[in-house]
Amino acid sequence: SIPAMKRVGFRPAYAGGVEACASTGGVLMPPIMGATAFVMAVFLEIPYSDIAIAAIIPSLLYFFALFMQIDAYSARYDLSGLPLSELPTLREVLRDGWYFVVVFLVLIYMLLYMQQEAQAPFYATAMLLVINQIAKQHRWGWRELSDFVVGVGKLFTELAAILAGIGLIIGSLSLTGKVGTIAYELVAFAGGNTILLLIMGAVTCFVLGIGMTITAAYLFLAITLAPGLAKSGLNDLAIHMFILYWAMISFITPPVAIGAYAAAGIAQSNPLKTGLEAMRLGTIIYFVPFFFVLNPALLGIGEPMEVIIVFFAALAGIILVSAGLQGYLIGAGTLGSGTNPLHWLLRLALFASGMMLALPGGEIVGFTHLELNVTAAFIGIPAVALTWMINRGGGRQSGVATT
């Protein structure tokens, strides 16, 4: 995908950033999430299906923000997609990869309907291997089989080492009674301020996510940090989702940004620039965990009408945030020249109004939904109107770019 993006005009660092963000989001998108989601289900003693359902809205918001930014960038620089003649038809794709769809559906059925989280991956993998040997164009030989066995062995060895190490840490904390002490000290240090406690928790998750795998960082934080956050009256599932998100943010955040640096190698771009592009493209992932932990309606928890309202408010906010980040507002056009101070004022106004629109109100935030929305309108409407006036008659009022 990176060479294809570069071919149609995306800068190498930008293409690498897109790939890094998309790969990171794959762990968050149900129905098949990363391994940590299964660990979370066991830890909370709830079905995996509950985790998958709760992850729907946050993951949709993340990918919607990613799409809106890519589209705004494409429209701003007049980029278009590959010619239709070079794209495979749906029939060709299904003819060559139909069995992937079948195995995927079987896996979803076993996970969500039969709720056999422990057995489902093994049955699905075995089914895929059998069908793969039947399909002549993808059939494995002895070399591929040997590589598969070696790869699985390395994976299990790494996993066993990680779990053994984290088990020693968690066991020592439990035996010494330090788990409760850490939770109490976090709450005491925050002085009862839930927002400050969440920020401290986010920083802790980020730092541990740098040196550990996501699963190891989650297990450690679920034991030490989650009880402290729970003392503030926050929803348990929202807390654990918050930890999951922030434990993996280091994958697209410099100076580590493992995902971005790996993509930079393929894109042949500067690793730091690629990491910064990934960080900008994935901006919403830094805020979505705060949104759903402050209002679990974004996890589908609560009254249906409230869930719908906060979801669409977040979508509208993301459109404005994306415009502020990329300098292009869909339906209005570019936000002027980067050398004009008004350009940056418009971007800042759209970003701020979008964040206020997406932020769920409540007692913890200190403002109601209505107050936040009115403030967002007060800042955002003049910015949108001015953007439209700047582009009026300029021919840059296109809607969605062809990406």
SS3 assignment for 44-57: HCCCHHHHHHHCHH
- Half-sphere exposure of 51 toward its Cβ, with a 13 Å CA cutoff? 29
| Number of folded domains that form the chain | 2
Which of 245, 272, 302 terminates a domain? The answer is 302
Q: What is the pLDDT of residue 63?
A: 94
Q: Which residues contact 284 (CB under 8 A, 6 or more apart)?
A: 61, 62, 65, 66, 318, 321
Q: Is 390 helix (H, G, I), strand (E, B) or coil?
A: helix
Q: What is the pLDDT of residue 248?
A: 86
Mean pLDDT value of segment 92-108: 83
Q: What is the dihedral of CA 187, 188, 194, 195, to 10 degrees?
A: -110
Which of 244, 274, 302 terminates a domain? The answer is 302
Confidence of residue 238 (pLDDT cuts 50, 70, 90): very high
pLDDT over threshold 70, residue 297 = yes
pLDDT, tens only, 124-133: 888 888 888 8
Mean pLDDT value of segment 74-81: 86
Looking at the structure, tell me whether residues 26 and 69 fall in a common domain.
yes
pTM over 0.85: no
Rounded Cα distance, 357 and 325, in Å: 16
Looking at the structure, tell me whether residues 328 and 281 fall in a common domain.
no
Looking at the structure, tell me whether residues 280 and 235 fall in a common domain.
yes
pLDDT over threshold 50, residue 397 = no
Confidence of residue 356 (pLDDT cuts 50, 70, 90): very high
Which among 248, 379, 398, 368 is positioned nearest to 317, based on CA atoms?
379
Looking at the structure, tell me whether residues 245 and 317 fall in a common domain.
no
Task: Between 325 and 180, name the one with better pLDDT.
Answer: 325
- In order, the DSSP letters of 288-331 are HHHHHHH-GGGGT-S-HHHHHHHHHHHHHHHHHHHHHHHTEETT
Looking at the structure, tell me whether residues 134 and 282 fall in a common domain.
yes
pLDDT over threshold 90, residue 57 = yes
- Half-sphere exposure of 292 toward its Cβ, with a 13 Å CA cutoff? 31
Continuous segment of H or E residues that includes residue 333: strand 333-334
Looking at the structure, tell me whether residues 356 and 367 fall in a common domain.
yes
Looking at the structure, tell me whether residues 255 and 401 fall in a common domain.
no
Residue 307's domain comprises: 303-403
Which among 301, 297, 403, 281 is positioned nearest to 359, based on CA atoms?
297
Looking at the structure, tell me whether residues 280 and 318 fall in a common domain.
no
Note the Cα 260 to chain centre separation in Å.
14
Q: Return the structure tokens found at 304.
A: 């249906």
Q: Which residues contact 296 (CB under 8 A, 6 or more apart)?
A: 235, 237, 238, 302
Looking at the structure, tell me whether residues 192 and 78 fall in a common domain.
yes
Task: Between 151 and 348, name the one with better pLDDT.
Answer: 348
Residues 194, 364: contact at Cβ < 8 Å? yes
Looking at the structure, tell me whether residues 224 and 144 fall in a common domain.
yes
Looking at the structure, tell me whether residues 202 and 348 fall in a common domain.
no
Q: Which residues contact 273 (CB under 8 A, 6 or more apart)?
A: 13, 264
Mean pLDDT value of segment 242-263: 85
pLDDT, tens only, 146-196: 888 888 888 778 667 766 776 776 677 667 766 556 666 766 777 778 888
Q: What is the pLDDT of residue 55?
A: 93
Rounded Cα distance, 28 and 51, in Å: 10
The Cα angle at residue 32 between residues 96 and 20, in degrees rounded to 5: 80
Looking at the structure, tell me whether residues 255 and 329 fall in a common domain.
no
Which among 100, 3, 21 is positioned nearest to 63, based on CA atoms?
21
Q: Which residues contact 162 (CB under 8 A, 6 or more apart)?
A: 212, 213, 215, 216
Which of 255, 285, 302 terminates a domain? The answer is 302
Rounded Cα distance, 272 and 246, in Å: 20
Of all residues in the chain, the percent with pLDDT exceeding 70 is 90
